[in-house]
Structures are given as C-alpha cells and as structure tokens.
Amino acid sequence: MTKKNNTATSSVSDLYEDWFLDYASYVILERAVPHILDGLKPVQRRILHAMKNIDDGRFNKVANIIGQSMQFHPHGDASIGDALVNMGQKDLLIDCQGNWGDYNTGDSAAAPRYIEARLSKFALEVVFNPQTTEWQKSYDGRKKEPITLPVKFPLLLAQGTEGIAVGLATKVMPHNFCELIEASIAILKGETTNILPDFPTGGIADFSNYKGGMRGGRIRVRSRIEVRGKKELAIKDVPFGTTTGTLIDSILKANDDGKIKVKKVIDNTAKNVEVVVELHPGTDPEQMIDALYAFTDCEVSISPNTCVIVENKPRFLDVNDLLKICTENAKELLRQELEILKKELLEKILYGSLEKIFIENRIYRKIEECTTWEDVILTIDKGLNPYKKQFYREITRDDIIRLTEIKIKRISKYDSFKADELMKGWQADLEETEKNLLNLTKYAINYYKTLLKKYGAGRERKTEIATFDTIDVTAVALNNVKLYVNREDGFIGYGLKKDEFVSDCSDIDNVIAFTADGKYYIKKIGEKVFVAKNIIHVAIFNKESQETTYNVVYRDGESGIAMVKRFKIAGVIRDKEYDLTKGSPKSKVLYFSANAHDETEIVTVKLSSASTAKKKILEYNFADLEIKGKNAAGNILTKYPIKSVAYKEKAKAPSPKSDLKLFENGKSD
C-alpha cells in the first residue's frame, strides 16, 4: 500500500487478485455451472425465457430466437445458437423443425436462418409459471428475467450438462426420463433411490464405479457389436461423447498402428448407426470384438463430476441427493401453485357473491339518487352490511368500485341459476384444492404419475446396464513387432534387428529382464531401451498372469553361501530395480530358469576343486523347494564354493528328505 494525498491505493497485484476472483465467480455462477433448482445454465434459462415471451404456438426461426435471447444474454449470437441447438437435440424442451444436426454422426445443424423451433408441450407445462417465478433486471436494466425458472422436474439429470469454469468443471450425466419420475415418486414415498445414467446414443454401460456421479467415479461405455457370419462385424451405436466419425478414425488408427488388422470399414449410418467392419479371412470375430473394445473408441471411459450452484455457491453432490432436492423443490412449487389457485378461487367466489347480492337485492337502484361519488360508495357499502359476515375477508373500497363498473346490459341479463351453478363449481374446486394442500405429498405423486403417462411414451431406457470384465490388451493385441536383446550391453527393443531375437510381441507389451548380479526390471518395450548390463534372461511380462515360476541358484556376496529359491513375480512397478538375492554387493546368479507352468528340474552342482568336501559333484531337485514370494531370501544350498550349476533333467517328484537335509547343511560324504 502507498498513500498519496491521504488516499490509499492498491498495488497492481492486489487489483489482479480481486479481478481474478470476480472473473472466476462470474464464470462459475453466470456461465458454466447449472443451478440446482431449475438445472439450467444462464444462457439456457434466457433462451427459454425469450422463447416463452414470443410463444404463440407456431414455430419461430432460430435466428429470431437468438435475437430475442440477446436482450437478456450479454454474449454473442454464436454461444446462444450453440446452446439452443444443444437443447434442441435433447428432444425434451424444444420442438425442432429442419436440419438440427445429429449427435451420432457429429453433423452440425443448418444455419439459424434455415431452422425453426418452439417450446414443447412438456416445457410449457413443467418449466414456466410467472406467478411462482422470482425476477431480476436484465443486464442492461431494460427487461426483467427469471433468477431461476420454476421447473417441477429434475431437468438437469434428464438432460445432463457439461461446463468448464475457472478452476472448476461440471459433467452431469443424462438420465432416463421415466426412471427419474419413478425415482421422484419413490423419494416422495420415503424410499431410497439409485439412479443410473441413460445415454441418448444407447450402447452398453458398466456403472459399477459410478459413485453417484461424484468426482472419482468412472463409467465404461461400449458400442453394441453384432457378428455377421465370419467376415463382418456391425457396430450398432456409438458410446456417449463420440461420433461415427471419431469411432471410424480410431479403428483406422488402430489398424495402421498394428493393434488390429481389418480389411475395410464402411459407414452405413442413416437414421440408425451402422458401421461395418470387414475382417480378413481366418480372423476370430469374438477376439476382434475384444480388440475393438481395447484399442478403439468402441469403448470409452467417462468421468462424471456433478457440480451445481446451490445458494449461490458451487457444490459437488451425489445424483441421488440432487434428485431429492429437485423433488422437494417441485413439491414446494406445487404447494405455491395450489395456494395461488386457492386465493384465486376465494376471490372468484367472493366477487360472485357480491355481484349476486348487488343485483338480486337491487342495490344498484339505491345509487340513482346519490349526488356524489362518495355517496355512491357509502350507499353500496351500507347495502352490503347485512351480508359481510359470510365473506372470508373484509370488503374493500376496490371491491365496491368494481361493482359500479358492471354494465346495465349484464345486470338486465343476469341469470341467478347460472350464477349459482358457477359458484358451486368454484366451491368444488376450492374444496379439492384445500384437500390437495392437506395431502400435498399424494398430490405431488399424482402430478408425477400424470407426467409419466402424458410424456413417457417412447422414452424408454436406451443404454443397457451391464458389468464388463477388464480386457487384457496384451492378450488381444496383435504381435506387430519383434523383441531383440543385446545381453552384454544391456539393451532390449524392437529396433535392435542385428542382435539376438527373443520373440514376437506387441508394441504395448512389458518386458522383464534379469541380470547376472541378481537384479531384475520391468520395462515398457520400445525401439531401444537400456535395462542393465549382462542380461541373463528376458521375456514378455504379463502382470495379470502369475503362472511363471523362476528357479534360481545364487551366491550371496557377503557370506559366499550358495542359496536356492523358487518364486513368482506379481505386484511390480515398471522401471523399478528389484533384487532376487539378499541384496549384498557382488552377489551372483549361478543358475536361472523360467518355467511357464511350475515345472521343476534336477540340476548338477559342481563344487570348487579347492573346497574341502569329499564329494564334489552333487545333484539338487528343485521339486524339494516350496514356491515363495519374490522377496524371500531362499534356502541354503551349500556353504562350499560352487564351480558351476547345470541342468540335468526334468524332475517329477521330490528327493528323499535326508539327502536334501545333508546337502542344505553343506555336508557331503
């Protein structure tokens, strides 16, 4: 802070901090994140309000709607047009006419001057009521706009939404129209709910990790794929968030990268999605389906993030809690509408009674002799005195003035019987309204049931709920590269074509490599990857499979004792150094074998000529040794120095325990 002429001025950094907070708040509250009460972003709310203002039951040009919306939304026409098309494609609030694009193919809508729209019957019934709407001035002060619309339906969960603010994002999944209504009814009955998304693009989805739409949840969505004979696969829908174009591109890219091999991809999409994948002869269709899920956009993962504005602040909510709040809000709006209706009926009954008394008792004749306006008012008021006790409120001056405005023609044609019948109808409606107020929950349930009956047809669930197994990508990936190794220099990779060939593999595989000093590593395959010098064994590593058993004899660098161990490897981290020995410096592997199915062998152990053992050639059977974890030190093979260990033959059964005990103790007769 600096002071000049006794006036405090802020530093530039302080100003930027304030401005940034103001900007962040504006983007969060006024642009990107929907409000919990009506489920709408400001631009969507203003579009609907503008459409209601010009609604006459006929279609309006979208260009006209955009212009009307710009009276309330202080941004460009493009943002309004995009939001309008997005709402129109969801087929709930807006009836569309013309080319509005296709979310399956990603085709954009025609220009605003060519397409038309109007509010749907559902929107007119559920979204608007000026009597229960809280209003505010528009950005330029010339108009009034709703703070939130009185929506009596969980609109946000039905449509879904996505937005990116400053340091905040929201991604609410769309849910099924009918299921939301049924869940709202269940909430009103005091039952718990577990709603799951339903995507307009259909498909199959695994919601086992949905977590109520909270941060950290995940949805896996797959296309439906049909097998047509042995030569074709037909993709019948696209996962939510993708299009036929991006799906086909992902298939072609996977084919070019060697992940899959397909003959041709044909897009037959018209009204319904159909992408045909032609296969090469001899290709297994079921395996190809798994490969498409593993390497293409036939399966996508979606991370929901349900963030809404609650009491002018962003909050992260479970979708079931959000639905409960929306249902209680709808119930409160219904109560307000009933209270308004009750008041209107009471006023109708009151004025109808006043009119009946005024005409049938000829009070209007008594004012003929009045010379002043005040005398007229007093005369009518005096004539009504005997009847005032029957009214629910006091008779006001305005009520009396209204009686003076009745035309003579209406008085002369007044039909007392018709008036009584009309009053009976109002009275019956009043009793029904009061009954509904006393049984508000039941009234709300019936309201939702009516919505379901009127608008639920054709809105059945499109997305099939399933649980997926995780596809092992290494199992379905094609062997599109070859693994080579340079043992001495310690390199592996598919680019070392002049070095030792190991096996065919995929370019997404992991490789395990053991070195002579007892270390081992897991590396992602590449063109040329350094591991460590003096590699003694290298192979493709499948972390999902734990079938390979490793048989090892090593000399501990500290004690010089020869150890023997059998172990399997699981739970490893790529690029980390592991030790199969005790970890002592100068340890050395004397014998190593990798066995795919727990095979064992008998090895010949030759002791050093300098050892004091009488018998310098021994045999050891690995079948005598239990399989333990990779971190186990192993058992003592012998304390005598070893010259060499060599494979002799495959073992079928353990050796006699006495021989093993002598050998482990380092004794030899």
Active site residues per annotation? 114
Measure the CA–CA gap between 45 and 149, rounded to whole angstroms. 7
CA distance 12 to 272: 58
Question: Can you say whether the dihedral through the CA atoms of 63, 69, 71, 77 is positive or negative?
Answer: negative
| Token pair 């690995």: residue | 622
Angstrom CA distances, 464 to 38, 202, 204, 207, 305, stand at 28, 7, 5, 10, 22
| Cβ neighbours for 313, distance < 8 A, ≥ 6 positions apart | none
Q: How many CB atoms lie within 10 A of CB 338?
A: 18
Q: How far is CA 14 from CA 7, 11, 21, in A?
A: 16, 5, 11
Q: How far apart are CA 638 and CA 652, in angstroms?
A: 23
| 3-state class (DSSP) for residue 477 | coil
Q: Which two tokens stand for residue 350?
A: 């009151």
Contact 518, 584 (CB under 8 A): no
Neighbours of 393 (CB within 10 A): 10
Mutual orientation of helices 177-188 and 319-360 as an angle, nearest 10°? 70
> Which 3 state secondary structure label does DSSP give 569?
coil
Task: Quote the tokens at residue 85.
Answer: 């098309």
Q: What is the DSSP letter of 389?
A: G
CA of 271: how far to CAs of 91, 96, 104, 203, in Å? 16, 16, 10, 16
Strand positions, DSSP E, 280-404: 299-302, 307-310, 313-316
CA 517-599-539 angle, to 5 degrees, is: 45
Tokens 């209706």: give the residue: 341
Q: What is the 3-state secondary structure (H, E, C) of 505-524?
A: ECCCCEEEEEECCCEEEEEE
- The CA radius of gyration of the chain, in Å to the nearest whole number, is 40
DSSP string covering 259-307: S--EEEEEE--SSS--EEEEEPTT--HHHHHHHHHHHSTTEEEE--B-E
Ordered DSSP codes for 142-202: SSEEEEE----S-HHHHH-EEEE-SS-EEEEPPB-HHHHHHHHHHHHTT------B--TT-
